[in-house]
Structure 1
Amino acid sequence: MRIAMLRANPKLSRFDPLPRIICHDEFSRGHCGWSQLVGNYENDIGTMLPGYAQHTSAMLSTLAHWDAGSHGGHDSSYALKIATRPKKGAQNVAIKRLTFRKRCPIRLEFYFTFKPEATELKLSESDVRSVGFLFDLQGGDRDDDSQRVMPHIRFLNALEGEHVQKWQFKRHNAEFTPIGTSRKTLSHYHLSPEGWEDIPGGAQRLCYNEIPTKVNWTYLRFDFDLASMQALSFQCNDRAFDMSGFDSIRIPAMKNLWCMLNIALFAETDTDKRVFLYVDSVCISGDF
């Protein structure tokens, strides 16, 4: 009965959720809780690390472009738009901040596409450096094994003008930096360019249409177990990848982040041009 109900709903049947849907975000309804990733600061917002200071708010977009008006989303007018600044290496991040009520398997699914700003009459397929996602997780306050665990995955589309097209992960953290003078606030920019590793067999050519304004939507699924704090599986379109060598950034639990379940989406440019990660819809599900 459950499967029949899911398949009868065209907005949910595109996903394969676990038994309980935690959230189903359609951006025709608004931002659905996705906001700017703001770095830690103390007394003065200028104490924020530069990596975070470059971030701006995610926008709702009709995927407007100059040659045919608006592309629109997967099956509505709007998608979430994460746009970088027009500076080589610039990044932007949108985050959804949740907590969990049981350490169990969870699943992230979403449809996405990416493009540089169409300022030239050419394909510009190597202008986007990377797009990706991450979780920021921490166990409960009475768990014996609580850590802050941060699985990161990115699609490295291009680097220094070379069209690379492969999936990578990150397990080594940037150093923590004290913020302010009270010794109460620390910060670390975990999306720094250092430390990315290739997922075995992770080369993949994604659909990237023939002119700078066309887009095609891509499906992504990531499964993670909150009990063991280990990745279970990763799929993009028709490809499932070997996660046996995957690991996450792991740091000691922090005193005020218990049961944290944060999800973030990010984009990065490889040229002095804005690039856009568009996300049509997101489904986060679990077994609790």
Structure 2
Amino acid sequence: MRLALLRADPSLSRFDPLPRILSYDDFSRGHCGWSQLIGNYENDLDSMLPGYAQHSSAMLSTLGHWDAGSHGGMDSSYALKIATRARPGAQNVAIKRHTFRKRGPIRFELYFTFKPEAKELKLSELDVRSVGFLLDLQCGDKDEGERVMPHLRFLNAVDGKHLQKWQYKRETTTFSSVGNDDKTVSHYHLAPEGWLDLPGGDQRLCYNEIPTKVNWTYLRFDFDLESMTASRLQCNDRIFDLSDFDSIRIPAMKNLWCMLNFCLFAETDVANRAFLYVDSICISGDY
């Protein structure tokens, strides 16, 4: 009965959720809780680390362009748009903040596409450096555990070379104190250093032939909150080996108990804005 109900709903039948749907984000209904990732600060906004200071708010977009007006979402007028600044290496991150009530399997599914800002009459397929996602997780306040941050990105191009491969991270940057009260620290975990190639992670995604066309791509990531390990990465028809995958792991931090955060990010390789568009997201669990 449950499967029949899911398949009868055009919005949900495109996903393969676990038994409990925690959130379903259809951006024709608004931002659905996705907001700007703001860095930690204390007393003065200038105390924020530079990596975070470059971030701006995610937007709702019709995927407007010059030759046909707008592309629209996969089955509605709007998608979530995460846009970088027009500076080589610039990044932008959107975040959705949850907490969990039981440590068990979770599944993160979405339909996405990416493009540079179409400012020239050419394909510009090498302008976007990367797009990706991360989870930011922490144990409950009565547990012995860690803060765990699985990171995955699709590295599209670097310095004009098409690479097209999946990468992950095991290390973050050094923690810095923020302010003078010894209450707040910060680290920029999306720094360019430390990315590792996912074994067998080469993949050619559909990019199309002119700078304004897009095709939507399916992505799924499975993670177990009990063991704090990843079990599946799927992008379109490819399922990748995660036997070598691990997450950034750091000691549990105060105030972050039962944290279950999801982030999406984009990065440009040239002095042109990179756009990550997301049509819809389904976050589900088995509890």
> Partner letter of residue 98 of structure 1?
H
Cα deviation digits, residues 177-210 of structure 1 (max 9, x gap): 1111111110000000000001110000000010
Task: Report how far residue 173 of structure 1 moved.
Answer: 1.2
**Matched residue, 2:71:** 71
**Matched residue, 1:84:** 84
User: Tell me, what secondary structure is at the counterpart of 2:74?
Assistant: coil
**Matched residue, 1:107:** 107
User: Tell me, what secondary structure is at the counterpart of 1:38?
Assistant: coil
Q: Structure 1 residue 9 and structure 2 residue 9: aligned?
A: yes
> Partner letter of residue 237 of structure 1?
N
Cα deviation digits, residues 31-50 of structure 1 (max 9, x gap): 00000000000000110000
Q: Matched residues in 2 for 1:91 and 1:173: separation? A: 16
Cα deviation digits, residues 6-26 of structure 1 (max 9, x gap): 000010000000000000000
Q: Matched residues in 2 for 1:198 and 1:188: separation? A: 22
User: Tell me, what secondary structure is at the counterpart of 2:166?
Assistant: strand
Q: Matched residues in 2 for 1:184 and 1:8: separation? A: 50
User: Tell me, what secondary structure is at the counterpart of 1:5?
Assistant: helix
**Matched residue, 1:262:** 261
> Partner letter of residue 127 of structure 2?
D
Q: Matched residues in 1 for 2:227 and 2:129: separation? A: 32
Q: Matched residues in 1 for 2:165 and 2:67: separation? A: 30
Q: Matched residues in 2 for 1:6 and 1:171: separation? A: 36
Cα deviation digits, residues 110-131 of structure 1 (max 9, x gap): 0000000000100000100000
The correspondence of residues 1-288 of structure 1 with structure 2, limited to 5 A, is 1-144=1-144, 146-288=145-287
Q: Matched residues in 1 for 2:137 and 2:173: separation? A: 17
Aligned residues: 287
TM-score for both structures, normalised by structure 2: 1.00
TM-score for both structures, normalised by structure 1: 0.99
Task: Report how far residue 76 of structure 1 moved.
Answer: 0.2
Q: Matched residues in 2 for 1:94 and 1:265: separation? A: 5
> Partner letter of residue 158 of structure 1?
A
Q: Matched residues in 2 for 1:37 and 1:30: separation? A: 18
Cα deviation digits, residues 57-111 of structure 1 (max 9, x gap): 0000000001100000010000000000000000000000000000000000000
Q: Matched residues in 2 for 1:275 and 1:233: separation? A: 27
Q: Matched residues in 2 for 1:64 and 1:120: separation? A: 15
Q: Matched residues in 2 for 1:235 and 1:147: separation? A: 26
Q: Give runs of ≥4 in structure 1 deviating > 2 Å.
A: none
Structure 2 unaligned regions, length at least 5? none
Q: Matched residues in 2 for 1:268 and 1:244: separation? A: 27
Task: Report how far residue 275 of structure 1 moved.
Answer: 0.8
> Partner letter of residue 273 of structure 1?
N
Q: Matched residues in 1 for 2:185 and 2:227: separation? A: 27
CA RMSD, Structure 1 to Structure 2 (Å):
0.4
> Partner letter of residue 112 of structure 2?
F
Q: Matched residues in 1 for 2:120 and 2:176: separation? A: 40
Q: Matched residues in 2 for 1:159 and 1:49: separation? A: 24
Structure 1 unaligned regions, length at least 5? none
